[in-house]
Amino acid sequence: MYKPTQGADAAIRQSFLVRAVVLAAVIALGQGCAGPISAKSAPDLGLTTASITERNVAFEGDESLLSDGRAILSALSATDLSDNAALPWENEDSGARGLITAYGAEQRDGRECLAFTTTRENFDGIGLYRGTACEDAAGVLRLYDFSSL
């Protein structure tokens, strides 16, 4: 015997089943996009972009030498380097001063760099140093290497 409600019930069940499957798929995809839920999140420090590898091993434990490096960068940045004249520099914080006697442009890791030689005179005496300063992505000179000869 034919019941007219059987077809309607089947259509409702089929519609409900389709909606349930779609909802389950959306929830599963949403969980996959959200990633794992963690109570503790931290920034990813493993990725550095547009930077020069830090090689300030010479400065470990010597804050005055790092400060002198900044003074040397200031002298290199503020001067027209085309005439190859000696450049004096002075660091009022450490009391050191010196004369950049040789400098020249070079390429390092695809960046414009300046290799230089300078004297450094402080209360310990006079020393001769060699360094390299390179432009970062913003065009600012950064000390790449600075060591005693």
Beta-strand ranges (E) seen in the chain are 87-90, 97-108, 111-122, 125-135, 141-148
pLDDT value of position 13: 75
More confident residue, 85 or 72: 72
Find tokens 């400060």 and name the residue: 67
pTM (predicted TM-score): 0.56
Rounded Cα distance, 116 and 72, in Å: 10
Residue with tokens 């450094």: 120
Domain boundaries, the chain: 1-36, 57-148
Which residues are CB-contacts of 14 (< 8 A; sequence separation ≥ 6)? none
Q: 143 and 73 in contact (C-beta within 8 Å)?
A: yes
pLDDT band at 90 (very low <50, low <70, confident <90, very high): very high
Cα 87–chain centre separation: 30
Residue 59 scores a pLDDT above 60 = no
Helices and strands, number each (H, E), in the chain: 2, 5
Instruction: Mean pLDDT check: name the lowest of 51-55, 63-67, 142-146.
Output: 51-55
Cα–Cα distance, 124 to 98 (Å, whole number):
13
